[in-house]
């Protein structure tokens, strides 16, 4: 066997050995990932409800026939509660005078972390509301002082969105966080307080552009020429 042949064989053996080591390393990583993922099946801890500046961003969309009564639209008084738990808020609504009690806008229970009175004084004119999220807040409770309370609940409970992120080695650790509450809420003519979902779509070159739309499917409102309108 010539010297050149021996060098070629030696080189081939080195390449084969290097490939084998790489494959073994990849197999080890995959096996370890599977093992760690299997060990991490326990339920995730609830997210910390920390204080966050400007973390509540609400688009309050107002019907031209807002709080319709006696043939005309009227202003509407709201109370926006930040809650650690919605249970007591919902229990109060079960009482005949519960809505009136909530419209007093007082801290009725330790689950109330903050509250704010809001007046929608211009029917058909939307309002943007930006608030700091108080520590302990996981839900928003809205009470609306409609004249006519027979066609809608006159209230809404909204959970602060929770997002899940991966961190750590190979991104195997999952952690939950409270996200920004960026939402649209529609206030109708008679007792209707409706959260309008927002969907996000990617468009443009390589789908890099993000566009947000109001999804009115499944609601009693639709998108008209001048914004959201109620379906009769």
Count the neighbouring beta carbons within 10 Å of the beta carbon of residue 68: 20
137, 82 in Cβ contact below 8 A? Answer: yes
Say how far apart CA 61 and CA 188 lie, in whole Å.
9
Say how far apart CA 138 and CA 83 lie, in whole Å.
6
Count the neighbouring beta carbons within 10 Å of the beta carbon of residue 104: 11
Say how far apart CA 149 and CA 137 lie, in whole Å.
28
Q: What DSSP line would sit under 51-120, residue for residue? A: -EEEEEEEEEEE-TTTT-BTTB---EEEEEEEES-SHHHHHHHTSTTHHHHHHT----STTEEEEEEEEE
pLDDT at 196: 80
pLDDT at 180: 92
86, 157 in Cβ contact below 8 A? Answer: yes
Of 101, 179, 188, 190, which is closest to residue 141 (Cα–Cα)?
Answer: 101
Strands 181-187 and 52-62: parallel
Say how far apart CA 203 and CA 212 lie, in whole Å.
11
- Does 14 or 109 have the greater pLDDT score? 109
Say how far apart CA 30 and CA 218 lie, in whole Å.
43
Say how far apart CA 67 and CA 55 lie, in whole Å.
28
Residues 136-191: tens digit of each pLDDT: 999 999 999 999 888 778 999 999 999 887 766 656 677 888 999 999 999 999 88
Mean pLDDT across the stretch 24-36? 59
pLDDT at 166: 73
Residue 80 has pLDDT above 60, yes or no: yes
């Amino acid at each position: 066997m010539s010297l050149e042949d021996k060098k070629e064989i030696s080189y081939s053996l080195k390449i084969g050995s290097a490939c084998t080591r790489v494959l073994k390393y990849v197999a080890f990583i995959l096996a370890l990932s599977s093992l760690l993922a299997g060990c991490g099946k326990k339920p995730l801890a609830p997210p910390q409800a920390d204080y966050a500046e400007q973390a509540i961003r609400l688009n309050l969309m107002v019907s031209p026939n807002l709080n319709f009564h006696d043939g005309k639209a009227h202003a509407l008084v709201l109370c926006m509660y930040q809650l650690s738990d919605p249970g007591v808020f919902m229990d109060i609504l079960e009482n005949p005078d519960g809505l009136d009690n909530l419209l007093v806008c007082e801290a009725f229970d330790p689950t109330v972390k903050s509250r704010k009175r809001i007046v929608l004084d211009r029917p058909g004119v939307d309002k943007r509301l930006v608030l700091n999220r108080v520590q302990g807040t996981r839900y928003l409770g809205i009470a609306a002082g409609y004249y006519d309370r027979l066609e809608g609940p006159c209230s809404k409970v909204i959970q602060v969105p929770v997002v899940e992120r991966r961190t750590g080695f190979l991104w195997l650790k999952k952690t939950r966080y409270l996200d920004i509450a960026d939402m649209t809420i529609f206030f109708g003519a008679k007792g209707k307080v409706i959260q309008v979902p927002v969907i996000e779509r990617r468009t443009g070159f390589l789908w890099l552009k993000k566009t947000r739309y109001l999804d009115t499917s499944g609601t009693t409102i639709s998108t008209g020429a001048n914004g959201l309108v109620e379906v009769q």
